[in-house]
Amino acid sequence: MPYCKSCGEEVPAGASFCRKCGAQLNRGAELVLASWGERFVAWLIDMILLGVVLAWFRLPGFNWVPMMWRGTVPHWVPFVDFGFKNAVYFVYWTLLEGTYGQSVGKMAMKIEVAHLNGGSIDTVKAAIQSVGKAFLLPLDCVLGWILYPSRQQRLFNYLSETVVLRKFG
Protein backbone atom coordinates (compact mmCIF):
# COMPACT_ATOMS: atom_id res chain seq x y z
CA MET A 1 0.00 0.00 0.00
CA PRO A 2 1.41 3.45 -0.91
CA TYR A 3 1.67 6.07 1.81
CA CYS A 4 1.80 9.87 2.03
CA LYS A 5 5.32 11.33 2.22
CA SER A 6 4.18 14.17 4.49
CA CYS A 7 2.25 12.38 7.23
CA GLY A 8 2.72 8.66 6.62
CA GLU A 9 -0.98 7.93 6.17
CA GLU A 10 -1.80 5.10 3.80
CA VAL A 11 -3.32 6.38 0.57
CA PRO A 12 -5.16 4.57 -2.21
CA ALA A 13 -2.95 4.07 -5.28
CA GLY A 14 -3.46 6.96 -7.71
CA ALA A 15 -5.07 9.34 -5.18
CA SER A 16 -4.32 13.00 -5.83
CA PHE A 17 -4.65 14.28 -2.23
CA CYS A 18 -3.91 12.75 1.15
CA ARG A 19 -7.17 12.42 3.10
CA LYS A 20 -5.42 12.99 6.42
CA CYS A 21 -3.09 15.98 5.90
CA GLY A 22 -4.26 17.27 2.51
CA ALA A 23 -0.82 17.08 0.90
CA GLN A 24 -0.90 16.89 -2.85
CA LEU A 25 0.16 13.48 -4.11
CA ASN A 26 1.68 13.76 -7.52
CA ARG A 27 3.53 10.99 -9.27
CA GLY A 28 6.46 9.97 -7.14
CA ALA A 29 4.89 11.33 -3.95
CA GLU A 30 3.49 7.97 -3.02
CA LEU A 31 5.95 5.34 -1.95
CA VAL A 32 5.24 1.63 -2.03
CA LEU A 33 6.68 -0.44 0.78
CA ALA A 34 8.32 -3.74 -0.04
CA SER A 35 6.60 -6.66 1.67
CA TRP A 36 8.30 -8.64 4.44
CA GLY A 37 8.22 -11.61 2.03
CA GLU A 38 10.19 -9.74 -0.65
CA ARG A 39 12.64 -8.56 1.99
CA PHE A 40 13.04 -12.09 3.32
CA VAL A 41 13.85 -13.50 -0.13
CA ALA A 42 16.38 -10.67 -0.70
CA TRP A 43 17.95 -11.50 2.68
CA LEU A 44 18.09 -15.18 1.77
CA ILE A 45 19.91 -14.39 -1.50
CA ASP A 46 22.40 -12.24 0.43
CA MET A 47 22.93 -15.01 2.98
CA ILE A 48 23.67 -17.59 0.27
CA LEU A 49 26.10 -15.21 -1.42
CA LEU A 50 27.83 -14.33 1.86
CA GLY A 51 27.94 -18.01 2.79
CA VAL A 52 30.10 -18.59 -0.28
CA VAL A 53 32.37 -15.67 0.67
CA LEU A 54 32.63 -16.84 4.27
CA ALA A 55 33.58 -20.37 3.20
CA TRP A 56 36.94 -18.93 2.12
CA PHE A 57 37.70 -17.99 5.69
CA ARG A 58 37.65 -21.64 6.73
CA LEU A 59 40.55 -22.46 4.43
CA PRO A 60 44.03 -22.73 5.90
CA GLY A 61 45.77 -19.43 5.25
CA PHE A 62 42.56 -17.44 5.84
CA ASN A 63 41.17 -18.99 9.00
CA TRP A 64 43.35 -16.87 11.30
CA VAL A 65 41.09 -13.88 10.51
CA PRO A 66 37.93 -15.23 12.24
CA MET A 67 40.11 -16.71 14.98
CA MET A 68 41.61 -13.32 15.75
CA TRP A 69 38.16 -11.71 15.58
CA ARG A 70 36.76 -14.20 18.09
CA GLY A 71 39.49 -13.23 20.55
CA THR A 72 38.58 -9.55 20.52
CA VAL A 73 34.76 -9.33 20.76
CA PRO A 74 32.31 -10.23 23.54
CA HIS A 75 30.28 -13.38 22.80
CA TRP A 76 28.04 -13.62 25.84
CA VAL A 77 25.55 -10.79 25.22
CA PRO A 78 21.98 -12.13 24.97
CA PHE A 79 20.18 -11.72 21.59
CA VAL A 80 23.30 -10.21 20.08
CA ASP A 81 25.76 -11.99 17.81
CA PHE A 82 29.15 -10.34 17.29
CA GLY A 83 30.65 -13.24 15.34
CA PHE A 84 33.05 -12.75 12.46
CA LYS A 85 30.32 -13.55 9.94
CA ASN A 86 28.14 -10.81 11.46
CA ALA A 87 30.93 -8.29 10.95
CA VAL A 88 31.17 -9.38 7.30
CA TYR A 89 27.36 -8.96 6.92
CA PHE A 90 27.62 -5.48 8.42
CA VAL A 91 30.37 -4.33 6.05
CA TYR A 92 28.57 -5.87 3.05
CA TRP A 93 25.21 -4.18 3.71
CA THR A 94 26.75 -0.86 4.74
CA LEU A 95 28.89 -0.61 1.60
CA LEU A 96 26.33 -1.84 -0.92
CA GLU A 97 23.21 -0.22 0.50
CA GLY A 98 25.12 2.97 1.38
CA THR A 99 26.32 3.20 -2.23
CA TYR A 100 23.48 1.76 -4.34
CA GLY A 101 20.60 1.56 -1.85
CA GLN A 102 20.55 -2.14 -2.65
CA SER A 103 22.36 -5.33 -1.75
CA VAL A 104 22.61 -8.05 -4.42
CA GLY A 105 19.49 -9.70 -2.96
CA LYS A 106 17.59 -6.41 -3.08
CA MET A 107 18.68 -5.82 -6.69
CA ALA A 108 17.30 -9.25 -7.59
CA MET A 109 14.01 -8.46 -5.82
CA LYS A 110 13.81 -4.90 -7.22
CA ILE A 111 13.56 -3.33 -3.77
CA GLU A 112 15.74 -0.70 -2.10
CA VAL A 113 16.52 0.91 1.22
CA ALA A 114 15.48 4.56 1.14
CA HIS A 115 14.98 7.54 3.42
CA LEU A 116 11.42 7.96 4.78
CA ASN A 117 10.75 10.55 2.05
CA GLY A 118 11.91 8.16 -0.67
CA GLY A 119 15.32 9.79 -1.15
CA SER A 120 18.54 7.81 -1.26
CA ILE A 121 20.44 7.09 1.94
CA ASP A 122 24.05 7.89 2.80
CA THR A 123 26.63 5.55 4.29
CA VAL A 124 25.87 6.65 7.86
CA LYS A 125 22.18 5.71 7.56
CA ALA A 126 23.15 2.51 5.77
CA ALA A 127 25.48 1.65 8.66
CA ILE A 128 22.86 2.34 11.36
CA GLN A 129 20.18 0.23 9.69
CA SER A 130 22.76 -2.52 9.04
CA VAL A 131 23.66 -2.80 12.74
CA GLY A 132 20.29 -4.35 13.50
CA LYS A 133 20.19 -6.90 10.73
CA ALA A 134 23.85 -7.86 11.00
CA PHE A 135 24.20 -8.25 14.77
CA LEU A 136 20.74 -8.67 16.32
CA LEU A 137 18.37 -9.62 13.53
CA PRO A 138 15.63 -11.56 15.36
CA LEU A 139 15.24 -8.85 18.00
CA ASP A 140 15.46 -6.07 15.41
CA CYS A 141 12.60 -7.61 13.40
CA VAL A 142 10.36 -8.59 16.29
CA LEU A 143 10.58 -5.14 17.89
CA GLY A 144 9.91 -3.55 14.50
CA TRP A 145 6.85 -5.75 13.92
CA ILE A 146 5.47 -4.72 17.31
CA LEU A 147 6.43 -1.03 17.36
CA TYR A 148 6.46 0.17 13.74
CA PRO A 149 3.99 -1.90 11.72
CA SER A 150 2.67 1.01 9.64
CA ARG A 151 5.88 1.45 7.64
CA GLN A 152 7.14 -2.11 8.14
CA GLN A 153 10.36 -0.96 9.75
CA ARG A 154 12.82 -3.00 11.73
CA LEU A 155 13.85 -1.21 14.93
CA PHE A 156 17.06 -0.11 13.19
CA ASN A 157 15.09 1.12 10.17
CA TYR A 158 13.20 3.34 12.58
CA LEU A 159 16.42 4.58 14.22
CA SER A 160 17.97 5.41 10.85
CA GLU A 161 14.72 6.86 9.40
CA THR A 162 14.76 4.35 6.57
CA VAL A 163 12.17 2.18 4.84
CA VAL A 164 12.41 -0.57 2.25
CA LEU A 165 10.56 0.36 -0.94
CA ARG A 166 9.68 -1.23 -4.21
CA LYS A 167 11.92 0.23 -6.87
CA PHE A 168 10.30 1.30 -10.11
CA GLY A 169 12.23 1.75 -13.34
Ramachandran angles phi, psi of 24, nearest 5°: -75, 135
Q: Considering the complex, state which of residue 10 and residue 81 has its C-beta at the smaller distance from Zn ion.
A: 10
Minimum distance from CB of 144 to Zn ion (Å)?
22
Binding residues for Zn ion, rule: CB under 5 A, are: 4, 6-7, 9, 18, 20-21, 23
Contact between residue 135 and residue 90 where contact means Cβ atoms under 8 Å apart: yes
CB of 113 to Zn ion, least distance (A): 22
Q: What is the DSSP letter of 29?
A: T
* Nearest to Zn ion of 10, 38 (CB atom): 10
SS3 2: strand
Least distance CB 68 / Zn ion (angstroms)? 51
CB-wise, 29 or 131, nearer to Zn ion? Answer: 29
